[in-house]
Amino acid sequence: MPLGNELLQYLLTGLTLGGIYALIALGFVTIYTVTGHINFTQGEFVMLGALTSISMIKLGLPMWLAITVAVAIVGIFGAAFERVVIYPARNSSVVTIIIITIGFSVAIRGVALLLWGTQSYPMQPFSSGPPINILGAIMNRQSIWVLLLSIVVVITLFIFFERTVMGKALKACAINRLAASLMGISPQKMSLFCFSLCASIGALAGIFITPITTATYDMGLMLGLKGFVAAVLGGLTNTTGAILGGFLLGILEAMGAGLISSGYKDAISFLILLLVLLNRPEGLLGKPERDRV
Amino acid sequence: MSLLEIENLTRNFGGVTAVANMSFQVNTGEIVAFIGPNGAGKTTLFNLITGLIKPDYGTIKFKNIDITGKVPEKIAALGINRTFQNLQLFNGMTVVENVMVGAHRHGKQGLLQAGFSFPGVAKEERFILAKAMEKLELVGLTDKKDIPVEILPYGQQRLLEIARAMAMEPKMLLLDEPAAGLNQGETDILGDLICKLPKMGMTILLVEHNMDLIMRISHHIVVLDHGSKLFEGNPGEVQNDAKVIAAYLGEEIV
Amino acid sequence: MKTKSTKGFLQRNLSIIFFIAIVILIALLIPNPYYLGNFVIIGIFTIVVVGLCLLMGYTGQVSLGHAAFYGLGAYSSALLTAKVGFTPLLAMVIAAVITGIVAFLIGIATLRLKEHYLALATLGSGIIIYIFFNEQVNITGGPSGFSGIPYFSFGSWQFDTERSYYFLVWSFVLLAIIFARNIVSSRIGRALRAIHTSEIAATCMGIPAFQYKVQIFVISAIYASIAGSLYAHYITFMSPSPFGFQASVEFVLMAAIGGLASIWGPLFGVTAVLFLTEFLKTVVPEIMPSAGGEYEIIFFGLILVIVMIFMPEGLVGGIKDYFAKGKIKKLAIKVNQDLAEFPENDLPSDRNKGVQ
């Protein structure tokens, strides 16, 4: 294959990966801006979405219904997680919250292992048919679904934040929690809603990627970390940054895997992260934070 | 002799100019007060001198050494220490330990010497403790030495911050609103304490809103407004200057 | 305690003596080498976690990549003894130096970052190193690993039984704890705690915060490296799996459960976690016959979450707080009621001890 085609192929693969990373990164960024917490459980929402939908399909539900039910279940789960785990610890230090969310993700992974075992579960692509040939590079039909999903989610979120009362309330919380609560917006309710929303987005991401990668109980770990990397690349407080960070990470990773070594692809993405953090600790699109005295 | 020379110092935050083209000098052994309405740039000025933020323009010279843009620990090493408007005590540590942190620079023993418990370490520790106790005595907190700082009453926390800063034995001490939240009795004790400091070799820079205190203890007053120097002079001159009265003192004094 | 009074000095040595007595007692009471082997592992992990507590608990800097330093120590020792032919002791020292240099480079690059960013940067560094263990097949043997690592020896003294290794490891634990205690109770230790609470105020006191953070990061990496060396000569087989992200997380969890800001906490944290794991390994299959191994991590995670919510200062901190709370409250009331006449020698120093 000529180099041009090869690069195009990596680009397409990278876009698919990037779409997923962007969705997970959105979860990190939304929760961080609204509540100030980094939620290391985000990756497990992805896994739960994928495996729950597979179980629903096995129960005989049609695919669209199985997906809807799975997303709803994970959304409720996210809300419960906020109430039971995050809410009691909301005034703890950053380190404590990091440890708590990591600990809970360990527990969720354990439960998943118990429920689904170690095998990997395949899922039917959403639409059948041969892969699409774009200028000599091949793209799965499912990859197009993934890209569509990321576009739809981004647009929906945009409309939600800009056009609805709830979205504006969330945005107000993100800008200034204290001022928002003085305006009668309850930051606690917002936090609850926000966790539920981000869990649902994570679940969708997991479901859409499963036909490509299959689903296992431990898929959330790496996906979660990559989503976090993407979020930080983009600036952690910036929705646009998270989406760009996701696609950037996906493309660089695909290029690295193809051109350098697939074994080192994760090392490459973390190396890029380190380089960005060293030169721009506030991320590519973030604003520098200042210590106040 | 001037200890601190500030020339054309400027710092903007976004579009707001917090300190604008400010110049003044401070002589050794003086108590210099900075007054002005909120947002006049007093705390920003302190943050610039202690290196917590960098100026956009201008120079700061201390003992004739250019310290503009140096990191805080380097500036502290030259003999500048400060207190904070919003108390920055080390919670989780006792009163005396807080002051001992202030005396940090009196020690030389590093991490490895400490870990292997070299003979010098214990001796140095006793020396630092003695320094700390000396300062606690000056602010009258000797009997509170083993109390966790969090439970110390507010007024005493303010005094403790001063003791901590004094423990470094700096040449220049910056006090950012030391009397905020103190009652009249505590303020009087504070005033007496500050008056003693120049005799101990410290030059004092003071930001304060309590006019009675300032008029009582300061040798020199710099009036700031919107980041610029409006006026400077001794307390008598400041009280009689029309511009100052209009900008800040208002009816309170007249 | 900080005042180095005679009483404090005695107390200090008492806990060490007590510790030594328990170590010997365990060796005497447990004849079964398998169980003694568990204590070898507890000792090795304790060394890592004590180093981690210096960094996280006292200085307040997160590291989610410490397993990589543990691995660097283990691999360096293993390779230098098995493939180059160095003596284990020399290999351990060189391994510590190598790990120290790597930690120094990572430290100066990442320790200016704060909180989440630092967590992610250390996590990333750890994963990069872990990937090297896996991918440098020519050197490390890759995922399948290599064997032939000699037992630890000291001159002609071979540590090839569980019992001798037990004493070797716990001697290192003792040294690790004493070293950490000395640091924490020194001028540097106070500076580290000051950096934790208010880095701004600390630097204004003339404390070179960044330099100290790098130093303690290197020290804590060397702790992990020495533990890794001990692990390599104990297991005598090397593969990357114990040094991944999961292991880094487990070290942090052990540290958190024991109590981040305490020197004895790691001992409790590691012991509690490993015993619980062993216990669950035997109990879970009996309650849920369908379950194989590994399910204990559910409980592990849940217990951690509960501990962190209800005892954010860990087991040691939580128990101390329980006893100290009443005293502190009384003290606070007293201070406020009676500002002038405060009895000088009647002050509990529990809080003080908690953050030694």
A205 vs C: CB within 8 A: no
Nearest CA-CA partner of C169 in C345, C37, C351, C28: C37
Q: Is residue B86 included in any domain, yes or no?
A: no
Residues B9 and B55 in one domain: yes
Secondary structure E strands in A101-218: 132-134, 137-139
Are C123 and A89 in contact (CB < 8 Å)? no
Residues B129 and B163 in one domain: yes
Residue A42 near residue A202 (C-beta atoms within 8 A): yes
Q: Is residue A289 included in any domain, yes or no?
A: no
Q: What is the total count of domains within chain B?
A: 2
Q: Is residue C162 included in any domain, yes or no?
A: yes
Torsion angle in degrees (nearest 10) through CA of C246, C248, C250, C256? -150
Residues C18 and C96 in one domain: no
Q: Is residue C280 included in any domain, yes or no?
A: no
Chain A: partners with 3+ C-beta pairs within 8 Å:
B, C
**CATH number for the domain that contains residue A66:** 1.10.3470
Are C135 and A261 in contact (CB < 8 Å)? yes
State which residues form the domain around C332: 316-356
What type of residue sits at position A283? G
Chain B positions touching A291 (Cβ under 8 A) are 52
Q: How many of the other CB atoms lie within 10 Å of CB of A39?
A: 32
Residues B148 and B29 in one domain: no
A116 vs C: CB within 8 A: no
Residues C259 and C335 in one domain: no
Q: Is residue A4 included in any domain, yes or no?
A: no
Residues B102 and B145 in one domain: yes
Residues B138 and B20 in one domain: no
Pairwise CA distance, residues C229 & A212, whole Å: 42
- What three-state secondary structure class fits C2? coil
Residues B24 and B95 in one domain: no
Secondary structure E strands in chain C: 146-147, 152-154, 157-159, 237-238
Nearest CA-CA partner of A256 in A25, A18, A14: A14
Residues B47 and B158 in one domain: no
Pairwise CA distance, residues B66 & B123, whole Å: 35
DSSP notation for C136-166: -HHHH-GGG-EE-PPPEEETTEEE-SHHHHH
pLDDT in tens, C41-65: 999 999 999 999 999 989 989 899 9
Q: Is residue B103 included in any domain, yes or no?
A: yes
Residues C149 and C176 in one domain: yes
A293 vs B: CB within 8 A: yes
Chain C positions touching B92 (Cβ under 8 A) are 193, 196-197, 261, 351, 355
Q: What is the pLDDT of residue C213?
A: 95
Are C183 and B84 in contact (CB < 8 Å)? no
Residues B69 and B148 in one domain: no
What token pair was written down for C123? 């996590």
Q: Is residue C308 included in any domain, yes or no?
A: no
Residues B106 and B181 in one domain: no
Pairwise CA distance, residues C198 & C190, whole Å: 12
Residues C259 and C352 in one domain: no
pLDDT in tens, A37-68: 889 999 999 999 999 999 999 998 898 999 99
Task: Place A190 in a pLDDT band, splitting at 50, 70 and 90.
Answer: confident
Q: Is residue A292 included in any domain, yes or no?
A: no
- What three-state secondary structure class fits C312? coil
**CATH number for the domain that contains residue B22:** 3.40.50.300
Q: CA of A128, closest CA in chain C: separation in Å? A: 36
What token pair was written down for C248? 């880094």
Chain B: partners with 3+ C-beta pairs within 8 Å:
A, C
Are A92 and C312 in contact (CB < 8 Å)? yes
Are A98 and C119 in contact (CB < 8 Å)? yes
* H or E stretch at A203: helix A187-213
Q: Is the dihedral of CA B42, B45, B47, B52 positive or negative?
A: positive
Q: What is the pLDDT of residue B79?
A: 92
Q: What is the total count of domains within chain A?
A: 1
Residue C177 half-sphere exposure toward CB, CA atoms < 13 A: 23
Which of B167, B187, B220 terminates a domain? The answer is B167
Pairwise CA distance, residues C292 & C307, whole Å: 26
Residue A81 half-sphere exposure toward CB, CA atoms < 13 A: 30
Strand partners, B221: B33, B233
Pairwise CA distance, residues C63 & C224, whole Å: 12
* H or E stretch at C75: helix C66-79
Write the residue in A99, A104, A110 that is nearest to C295 by C-beta: A110
Secondary structure E strands in C125-272: 146-147, 152-154, 157-159, 237-238
Residues B99 and B140 in one domain: yes
Q: What is the pLDDT of residue C343?
A: 38
Q: What is the pLDDT of residue B162?
A: 92
- Give, as one character, the DSSP assignment of residue B91: T
Residue C221 near residue C39 (C-beta atoms within 8 A): no
Q: Is residue A85 included in any domain, yes or no?
A: yes
Q: Is residue A130 included in any domain, yes or no?
A: no
Pairwise CA distance, residues B19 & B228, whole Å: 6
State which residues form the domain around B8: 1-79+170-254
Task: Place C329 in a pLDDT band, splitting at 50, 70 and 90.
Answer: low
Residues C12 and C65 in one domain: no
Q: What is the pLDDT of residue C140?
A: 87
Are C182 and B89 in contact (CB < 8 Å)? no
Are B88 and A291 in contact (CB < 8 Å)? no
pLDDT tens-digit profile, chain B (254 residues): 689 998 999 998 877 888 888 899 999 999 999 988 877 888 899 999 999 999 999 999 999 899 998 999 999 999 999 999 888 999 889 999 999 999 998 888 888 988 898 888 889 999 999 999 999 998 888 888 898 998 888 888 999 999 999 999 999 999 999 998 888 888 998 999 999 999 999 999 999 888 889 889 999 999 888 888 888 888 888 877 777 777 665 544 43
pLDDT in tens, C257-314: 888 888 888 998 899 888 887 887 777 777 766 655 566 677 777 877 888 788 777 7
Pairwise CA distance, residues A64 & B149, whole Å: 60
Q: Which residue of A has its CA nearest to B85?
A: A293
Write the residue in C182, C204, C342 that is nearest to B114 by C-beta: C182
Q: What is the pLDDT of residue C334?
A: 58
Q: What is the total count of domains within chain C?
A: 3
B/e letters for C208-217, b = 16+ CB within 10 Å, e = fewer, are bbbebbbbbb
Q: Is residue B84 included in any domain, yes or no?
A: no
* H or E stretch at B16: strand B16-27
Q: What is the pLDDT of residue B113?
A: 86
Are C212 and B151 in contact (CB < 8 Å)? no
Provide the chain C residues 3-42 that lie in CB contact (below 8 A) with chain A. none
Residues C151 and C2 in one domain: no
Q: What is the pLDDT of residue C166?
A: 92
Mean pLDDT confidence for A159-177: 81
Q: How many of the other CB atoms lie within 10 Å of CB of A116?
A: 19
Which of B119, B143, B167 terminates a domain? The answer is B167
The residue among C182 and A134 whose pLDDT is bigger is C182
Task: Place C352 in a pLDDT band, splitting at 50, 70 and 90.
Answer: very low
State which residues form the domain around A70: 10-121+136-279
**Phi, psi at residue B3, to the nearest 5°?**
-90, -40
Residues C347 and C210 in one domain: no
Please, what is the angle between helix C209-235 and helix C187-197, to 10°?
Answer: 110
Chain B positions touching A293 (Cβ under 8 A) are 43, 47, 52, 84-86, 88
Number of continuous H segments (helices) and E segments (strands) in chain C: 15, 4
Q: Is residue A81 included in any domain, yes or no?
A: yes
Residues B73 and B175 in one domain: yes
Q: How many of the other CB atoms lie within 10 Å of CB of C91?
A: 26
Q: Which residue of C has its CA nearest to B113?
A: C183
pTM summary value: 0.88
Q: Is residue A119's pLDDT more than 90?
A: no
Q: Is residue C350's pLDDT more than 50?
A: no
Residue with tokens 């400010």: B22
Chain A positions touching C62 (Cβ under 8 A) are 95, 98
Chain A positions touching B86 (Cβ under 8 A) are 293
Torsion angle in degrees (nearest 10) through CA of C57, C59, C65, C68? -100
Residue A237 near residue A173 (C-beta atoms within 8 A): no
